[in-house]
Chains A and B, each alone.
Chain A
């Protein structure tokens, strides 16, 4: 599975959009991009995933560049409860698979 690179930390003002980048320059055509977050002391929580097209759900939006080498997770109106570590993961769509977590981005939402 391709490796991902994320900034170690980011701050965001409450009510503003939080844009979390992820680089996955070695991604293959059959690999999805997944985003999870981990709020302190809890298990990682699924947010969103995509293959080629941009995706949106009730939690966030995922923007994937046309060459698929990078993506951005957007939390449109960040709240204090969005403070967490956000993980970007790529994994294959076929065969045996593993979710390999990197170090993620520690997002702090400021009041």
Chain B
């Protein structure tokens, strides 16, 4: 079975540019999570969706960040404009309601 698929795996962008991270959850999973990981702050939950509806976005750092889930098989996390402090690994995860399964992450560097 294919796991959670994220793209791009690595991105380097200049400050001020828009960044879009993509996620395809495991087929049949109805919950989707976006996490961010840095050395300083560890693994932080940004937002999660249930049946394509955002349930809790209290972890989204600020208005520059937005997430969408237009259908059950696709989600995006957008940063506009990006800043160097956004440099991190962004993980997407999905679940049927119990165990969550993570993708391999998108490594973002903003210079």
Residues of A within 8 A of B (CB): 34, 38, 41-46, 49, 87, 96, 98-103
Contact = CB atoms under 8 A, between A and B. Distances in A.
In which size bucket is the chain B interface? Answer: 20 to 34
30 contacts: A34-B99, A38-B43, A41-B105, A42-B104, A43-B4, A43-B91, A43-B102, A43-B104, A44-B43, A44-B91, A44-B102, A45-B102, A46-B99, A46-B100, A46-B101, A49-B98, A49-B99, A87-B43, A96-B50, A96-B55, A96-B56, A98-B45, A98-B56, A99-B45, A99-B100, A100-B45, A101-B35, A101-B43, A101-B45, A102-B42
Contacts, number: 40
A87 to B, nearest CB: 8
Contacts of A43: 4, 91, 93, 102-105
Q: Is the interface of A mostly helix, strand, loop or mixed?
A: loop
Contacts of B45: 98-101
Interface string B67-111: 000000000000000000000000101000011111111000000
Q: Is the interface of B mostly helix, strand, loop or mixed?
A: strand
Most A CB atoms within 10 A — which of B45, B99, B105? B99
Contacts of B4: 43
Nearest to B43: A101
Most B CB atoms within 10 A — which of A49, A98, A102? A98
Contact of A103 (B33, B42, B91, B100): B42
A44 B89 CA distance: 12
